[in-house]
Chains A and B, each alone.
Chain A
């Protein structure tokens, strides 16, 4: 069974902390994505990567960075967490970009106090 694993289900951090959200996929997929999901706003794309060491900004990249050192791992970094980054973060992967099935992790609910 294919799997996208996010390292934490729940995280509580303080304003100003540096936060790392980790995502690992076991499907040898080329493409990986980070979304945030907020009530009334739906899923919004933060960053995506179509290859190792490659990254592209999504719709809302401000305040975030990403790292993809290995094909199976895609990390989302909040350099200095703020309260407006409290959200559900979803990682996804796909074999090709566009029209292909996205496989999602279970999500990380991040609270920034």
Chain B
């Protein structure tokens, strides 16, 4: 069974600060996705990274896929209260029928 470890599990910071969330595995993934889940809602896809070393930016969010495709990070610049939520990474092993392997998530709270 492939595992994805996310850290930190919980993070509470002030508005305007920067933060980084990590997603690590000993396994190689063909692609990795990041989702954000707000209270009372299902997860919503933010980005998919496919190539080792790839960096994608979504406004103040920067996503990076490790060179070996075993890890990823999400960096938020100047965090806003609207960034509050549960951030989930999900890896695709490329095996098809098994679907995605999800990390346990990082609970992020941005205090105004």
Q: Which residues of chain A have a CB within 8 Å of any CB of chain B? A: 4, 9, 33, 35, 40-45, 48, 50, 56, 58-59, 90, 92, 97-99, 101-102, 104-107
Number of interface residues of B (CB under 8 A): 27
6 other A-B residue contacts (CB within 8 Å) besides A4-B42, A102-B33, A102-B100: A33-B99, A42-B103, A42-B104, A42-B105, A59-B1, A106-B42
Contact present for A56 and B97 (CB under 8 Å): yes
Q: How far is the CA of A56 from the CA of B92 in the complex (A)?
A: 17
CA distance A9 to B20 in the complex (A): 32
* Known contacts A104-B42, A104-B43; A97/B96 CB under 8 A: yes
Instruction: Verify if B112 is at the interface (C-beta below 8 Å from A).
Output: no
Q: For the complex, give the distance between the alpha carbons of A56 and B95 in Å.
A: 14
Residue of B nearest to A90 (CB): B42
B51 contact set on A, CB distance < 8 A:
none
Whether A97 lies near B48 (C-beta < 8 A) is: no
Question: Whole-angstrom distance between the alpha carbons of A105 and B40 in the complex?
Answer: 10
**Could you show 9 A-B contacts with beta carbons less than 8 Å apart?**
A42-B102, A42-B103, A48-B97, A48-B99, A50-B97, A56-B97, A98-B99, A99-B94, A106-B42
**B residues adjacent to A (C-beta < 8 A):** 1, 30-31, 33, 35, 40-45, 48, 50, 88, 90, 92, 94-100, 102-105
Query: Out of B1, B30, B35, B40, which one reaches A106, CB within 8 Å?
Result: B40
CB distance from B35 to the nearest CB of A (A): 8
Contact between A101 and B100, CB atoms less than 8 A apart: no
Q: Could you say which residues of chain A place their CB within 8 Å of the CB of B96?
A: 97-98
Which residues of chain A come closer than 8 Å to B48, judged between CB atoms? 99, 101
Q: Which residues of B contact A33 (CB under 8 A)?
A: 99
Which residues of chain A are near B104, meaning CB under 8 Å?
A: 40-42
| Cβ contact within 8 Å between B88 and A43 | yes
Rounded to whole angstroms, the CA-CA distance of A50 and B97 in the bound complex is: 8
Chain A residues with CB under 8 A of B33 = 101-102
